[in-house]
Amino acid sequence: MRALEGQKRVTIENVSPQIDCGKYPIKRTINESVNVVADIFVDGHDQIKATLVFRKITKGSPKWQKTPMRFVGNDRWEGSFTPDAEGHYEYSIEAWVDHFSTWQHGLEKKYEAKQDIGVELLQGIEFFETALENAPRGARKSLQQARDLLKSNSHEAKSVSFALSEGVSSMMAPFYDRDKVSQYKLLPLKVERKLALFSAWYEFFPRSTSDEEGRHGTFKDCERILPEIAEMGFDIVYLPPIHPIGTSNRKGLNNATTANEGDPGSPWAIGGKEGGHKAIHPELGDFDDFASLVQKAEELGLHIALDFAIQCSPDHPYIKAHPDWFKWRPDGTIQYAENPPKKYQDVLPVNFETEDWENLWKELKSIVDFWIKKGVRVFRVDNPHTKPFKFWEWMIREVHDKNPDIIFLAEAFTRPRVMERLAKVGFNQSYTYFTWRNSKEEFQTYLTELTKTPVREYFRPNFWPNTPDILPISLEEKGEAHFLIRLSLAATLSSNYGIYGPLFELGLNKAYPGKEEYIDSEKYEIKNWDWDRQTKIKTLITKLNRIRKENPALQTTWNIEFQETDNPELICYSKIDRENDNKILVVVSLDGEYTQSGWIKVPLGEFGLNESEPFVLHDLISGERYSWKGLWNFVELRPKEMPVHLFRLETL
Amino acid sequence: MRALEGQKRVTIENVSPQIDCGKYPIKRTINESVNVVADIFVDGHDQIKATLVFRKITKGSPKWQKTPMRFVGNDRWEGSFTPDAEGHYEYSIEAWVDHFSTWQHGLEKKYEAKQDIGVELLQGIEFFETALENAPRGARKSLQQARDLLKSNSHEAKSVSFALSEGVSSMMAPFYDRDKVSQYKLLPLKVERKLALFSAWYEFFPRSTSDEEGRHGTFKDCERILPEIAEMGFDIVYLPPIHPIGTSNRKGLNNATTANEGDPGSPWAIGGKEGGHKAIHPELGDFDDFASLVQKAEELGLHIALDFAIQCSPDHPYIKAHPDWFKWRPDGTIQYAENPPKKYQDVLPVNFETEDWENLWKELKSIVDFWIKKGVRVFRVDNPHTKPFKFWEWMIREVHDKNPDIIFLAEAFTRPRVMERLAKVGFNQSYTYFTWRNSKEEFQTYLTELTKTPVREYFRPNFWPNTPDILPISLEEKGEAHFLIRLSLAATLSSNYGIYGPLFELGLNKAYPGKEEYIDSEKYEIKNWDWDRQTKIKTLITKLNRIRKENPALQTTWNIEFQETDNPELICYSKIDRENDNKILVVVSLDGEYTQSGWIKVPLGEFGLNESEPFVLHDLISGERYSWKGLWNFVELRPKEMPVHLFRLETL
């Protein structure tokens, strides 16, 4: 038993948030607050105090910052703090018996019960005397005055009211016995850049950007496209792999097992005679072109995101240099990717069970480091759930230690525990099941799970209506209105969202029926898209991205509150940013074919409204203003016009 | 990074049960099973295996016992084990990638898809070869046969069906790479004697046992009473403090601040010139008498429980010997117990904040050790919530390390977190809010909280209808039927229960109206009870205790399942012990005045019954047999006769 351990009487338990007993950090972005609750109590009837302590972990031993906790009831306490810089933090709780307020409490009760308080006043004098012994020079005068007032014993009522005053409480607050403070274990917090929570992604294939039919697009062509993407208001431009593509077992058009002469192959079959993950596919350009693209993007306020796909074509240089990083079969052939009975012969998985795993890990991390040096700050990671969690935990921590602003998006569409785990071990953003949620109830259940359970502490959703791998049933062979619906939902339910373009804004949706796969996918061929065509979808994208940037309430996912409607096809939710008095109400019709109308319940209380006075909602998409009154109000949405209202409450 | 750490690919998380991240042990009694669930998964598509491991902590390094876990779904696994001895255990989970079953899985899929499996069979041969290298002599022959069959390559279908067989799976199960096994942290388990979960307590004042009006009862008198208590079927006889009672500030009758000549004082004002906590109040007898009482109890199958009340009368020897264990006020007087504005001048609290706390702790523990040496195995602890939790944690652990069979019952009627904490730090049983629960909904909510939440892992309820401090509204000035109701509920809802007698079985209930306090409480005076009077309450006590002993389903609290009734005054619950095929259904009318009838829903499924065949319920109280059929059946309870049915399902 340690010297004073037995005298630390206060219990601190059930502290939340914490992930897996503090094994993994909770996550915040800069200026996002951390609200901590705990059960804190002591034996007996003594009064206690509790403080939330936190600090950024830096070299040296930075000072703890402290903020008092408030008693809520039933032994529950709460407090909060707001980290203001990127990096690793730790936080904890300190609590102690507060003998002075215990004394105040007893004095008050006895005085009220008209009992003798002579001894209590003597005890009060002792408190002030002891404080005086430990007080800094500046505090002594007040303490002496306090002591003298109690000593003078001239006017009991005056002494009591003085002893119980706010002023005396604050004056005595610093004088508690620090040896006897109970401290909860340290809990980790990781603070990331705002972009980790608020971002709009645009994915496109750089090879499909040329303006001449059949010519392979280049980084230079991409530069021509970028202003249009910036104009639409995106933050991140994500490129599928830009590395040399293997020729052995190259896939043909529409994923054919054999390629014809001239077929470009899948960019995810990484590595050829020109190099591997640290090389550029020659037809796209060279490193100067890439540097120019990054610079152009930067000028437009865009981040270039690369795809980190740990897999090799049979022609990747690693295979000769590190044969032991791959699995060899008893017949002497190399193990290709498979999930029996499916086979992916153009791709070889890396064997993480190799005895040489430490060098493998280092090499893989060096790929990320390589591209960071080339100016890349954002990575979309391909299928991270088929590589060990411990690798990601190590790799992301190492990268973030030097570059805390790097963002990793986990492209894992798999079981919930696996997706959650990837977020726990460090991924900043995650793909989600949004793509397959369709009914009002599905959205409400899913968003509640994402935002109102402990998952909210570490898993940042990124909502994608489509990807090159997925043309969901909700868009397949459907009209424009369906695109407007999925877009509005993605961009307002989640503060991170992305689209795969230009197919999305062009409303392209030819799929193998029921298979969710694009016909003639550009994964296997070069396309010449009509990049300039203006569409209603494009107009809405541009508006939504602007509205998101202008309305802080749309820059977080955690503040969503669903509101009742009397029509299952109408989904309604509010988002409020109190600090900026920004109050948003979204109504989306889930019906892309027919007009839907109904009554929606306005969160009057949260909006600071009362039942009797009218208020004005400004539809930021149409520009129209609606004067409403009371709890229930009527809406009608015509999909051919606009299937969504995005209201902001007008403030007077 | 440790050598192989990066190769331990399997994740084990969300393991339950565990208390405060494994800081406190879960509790079981001997032969109570521990059901463990966890999320267990790996990256990619490999098959995994998981094992629950456990061992009793003893000197040396006892071997781990292992039991396989089963896959439930959605990455959830479960397993269970049953500890068979008292003491401290630890348990954990091990999980690993099972390459052999991954191979089997792939072989099966490919074979079904009619793909070439030549390479797979070669891989199979490799598996058997590698296993052969590590196999003990006894296992080699089968492995060679397996290898040779695959090598012969004569009959593919035969090879496949052999390779996928149960037999081959078991044969290969031991051959996995132990270096790459993931292990969860060790979790603590404390296994206690059965009495900790199944006990009937009887509290009485030894000084009220004499058969001559006004004479102070003695231990010898108690011996005369014991057979009657044993006859009623109790296990534990709990005596309020038996130590010398102080004379300074002694309380008079009915808690008067001053005692009259001859008033005996409260037994909780411990300590006088005759000694303190290690002495016996002279009027009760001496140590020989006490030894004789303990022996007599033992012969009757009863345990004597003492009251451990850490407080001193102003005459306690500690005050002179250890003045620093008490709080002294600025006027030179000693601090008596108070909770302003309430005062308890006959009792001085020990000051756990003394600088000499370590000696204080040791002395207090020595009191318990002292009485253990005198044959006491059970302690009821008075107001443990006003003493530091850390003291209890230390004291109980120290005592249990030498005497794991000692039982401590926490007499804390306070806030939920505080009561839970006392159970976490080691108390074997706890008083509860049962005394103040009255409606069907209150009972159902409370029992659900106690038995279906994590509290169930460490908090063992003990239900008391009355105590010397509490004559609840539910009994105050009420008729006999109310006693039968509270008794039946206490004895069947909870496997631990107790009564304060003989007032309970005599149906005595004179209280200060609304105050829940007995008028003329024997806390302050000597009583001469009519110990011999037979009452209906006494008859029911005797029956219930016998029924509890004969029916294992009533020997645990955790198996309760509430059943629907169509009358809020009728509460119904089932308790099943599957191992002994013991199925109990209890129906209690909560109305002690009027007849109540209604329909109750029988848990046919749990009882292994179907809707169409009749079954027989045997009322173990009345002895009557009822032939029922179907889901809903009718009952009618007349409180003046018997307000409870305690049915056992008749087995054919």
pLDDT tens digit sequence for A12-51: 999 999 999 999 999 999 999 999 999 999 999 999 999 9
User: Is A520 among the residues known to form the active site?
Assistant: no
Contact flag B43-A387 (C-beta cutoff 8 Å): yes
B3 — pLDDT class (breaks 50, 70, 90)? low
B78 — pLDDT class (breaks 50, 70, 90)? very high
pLDDT tens digit sequence for A481-527: 999 999 999 999 999 999 999 999 999 999 988 889 999 999 999 99
What is the number of CB-based contacts under 8 A between chain A and chain B? 149
Q: Is the pLDDT of residue A610 over 70?
A: yes
Name the β-bridge partners of A585: A574, A647
Q: Is the pLDDT of residue B429 over 60?
A: yes
Question: Considering A98, A411, A476, A505, which one is annotated as catalytic?
Answer: A411
Token pair in block for residue B539: 């008859």
pLDDT tens digit sequence for A544-561: 999 999 999 999 999 999
Cβ neighbours of B77 in A, within 8 Å: none
Q: How far apart are the first and last CA of chain B?
A: 63
Per-residue pLDDT, averaged over A184-192, amounts to 98
Query: What percentage of chain B has pLDDT greater than the value 90?
Result: 92
Q: Is the pLDDT of residue A2 over 70?
A: no
Which pLDDT belongs to residue B330? Answer: 92
Q: H-type helices in B374-437, by residue range?
A: 389-402, 416-424
Could you give the CA distance from residue A28 to residue A402 in angstroms, rounded to a whole number? 19
pLDDT tens digit sequence for B241-258: 999 999 999 999 999 999
SS3 content of chain A, % helix, strand, coil (to 5): 35, 25, 40
B60 — pLDDT class (breaks 50, 70, 90)? confident
Which pLDDT belongs to residue B234? Answer: 98
Which pLDDT belongs to residue B210? Answer: 96
Contact flag A389-B113 (C-beta cutoff 8 Å): no
Cβ neighbours of B119 in A, within 8 Å: 329-331, 333
B619 — pLDDT class (breaks 50, 70, 90)? very high
Cβ neighbours of B118 in A, within 8 Å: 331
Could you give the CA distance from residue A148 to residue B275 in angstroms, rounded to a whole number? 44
Cβ neighbours of B362 in A, within 8 Å: none
pLDDT tens digit sequence for A584-607: 999 999 999 999 999 999 999 999
Query: What percentage of chain A has pLDDT greater than the value 90?
Result: 92
Token pair in block for residue A430: 């995650």
> How close, in Å, is residue A474 to chain B by CA atoms?
26
Contact flag B333-A9 (C-beta cutoff 8 Å): no
B11-16 and B34-41 beta bridge pairing: antiparallel
- Residue of chain A whose alpha carbon sits nearest to that of B41: A418
For an interface test with B, which of A43, A76, A121 has the most B Cβ atoms less than 10 Å from its Cβ?
Answer: A43
User: Is B411 among the residues known to form the active site?
Assistant: yes
Which pLDDT belongs to residue B21? Answer: 97
Question: Considering A192, A203, A346, A382, which one is annotated as catalytic?
Answer: A382
Token pair in block for residue B2: 């440790």
Cβ neighbours of B416 in A, within 8 Å: 74-75
Could you give the CA distance from residue A330 to residue B120 in angstroms, rounded to a whole number? 9
Quote the crossing angle between the two packed helices B416-424 and B389-402, to the nearest 10°. Answer: 30
Could you give the CA distance from residue B547 to residue B539 in angstroms, rounded to a whole number? 12
A3 — pLDDT class (breaks 50, 70, 90)? low
For an interface test with A, which of B42, B43, B104 has the most A Cβ atoms less than 10 Å from its Cβ?
Answer: B43
pLDDT tens digit sequence for B475-511: 998 999 999 999 999 999 999 999 999 999 999 999 9
Which pLDDT belongs to residue B2? Answer: 56
Interface contact B331, partner A, CB < 8 A: yes
Say which residue the tokens 């264990």 belong to.
Answer: B325
Lowest mean pLDDT among A193-197, A337-341, B197-201: A337-341
B340 — pLDDT class (breaks 50, 70, 90)? confident
Which pLDDT belongs to residue A53? Answer: 98
- Residue of chain B whose alpha carbon sits nearest to that of A9: B388
Q: B277: helix, coil or strand?
A: coil
DSSP readout, B465-521? Answer: S-BTTB--TTTTT--HHHHHHHHHHHHHH-SEEEEETTTTTTT---EETTTTEETT-
Torsion of CA B547, B553, B559, B560, to 10 degrees: -30
Interface contact A2, partner B, CB < 8 A: no
Per-residue pLDDT, averaged over A430-442, amounts to 98
Token pair in block for residue A551: 């309305």
- In sequence order, the 6+-apart residues with CB closer than 8 A to the CB of B506 are B529, B530, B533, B535, B537
**Mean predicted lDDT score pLDDT of chain A:** 96
- Residue of chain B whose alpha carbon sits nearest to that of A38: B417
Domains of chain A: 5-191 (2.60.40.10), 203-242+280-310+350-417+426-439+462-481+501-534 (3.20.20.80), 561-650 (2.60.40.1180)
Query: Residue B514 CB: number of other CB atoms within 10 A?
Result: 8
Interface contact A74, partner B, CB < 8 A: yes
Which pLDDT belongs to residue A156? Answer: 84
Asked if ipTM goes beyond 0.90, one says yes
| pTM of this structure | 0.95
CB–CB of B327/B350 below 8 Å?
no
Interface contact A179, partner B, CB < 8 A: no
Q: Is the pLDDT of residue A181 over 90?
A: yes
- Residue of chain A whose alpha carbon sits nearest to that of B43: A386
Could you give the CA distance from residue A159 to residue A164 in angstroms, rounded to a whole number? 9
pLDDT tens digit sequence for A237-288: 999 999 999 999 999 999 999 999 999 999 999 999 999 999 999 999 999 9
Interface contact B421, partner A, CB < 8 A: yes
DSSP readout, B603-636? Answer: -HHHHT--SSS-EEEEETTT--EEEE-SSEEEEE
Which pLDDT belongs to residue B156? Answer: 84
- Spatial CA neighbour of A396 closest among A360, A359, A363, A428: A428
- A 110-139 near B (Cβ less than 8 A): 110, 112-113, 115, 118-119, 122-123, 125-126
pLDDT tens digit sequence for B287-337: 999 999 999 999 999 999 999 999 999 999 999 999 999 999 999 999 998
Cβ neighbours of B453 in A, within 8 Å: none
Interface contact A417, partner B, CB < 8 A: yes
Could you give the CA distance from residue B403 to residue A582 in angstroms, rounded to a whole number? 65
Name the β-bridge partners of B182: B95
Q: Is the pLDDT of residue A460 over 90?
A: yes
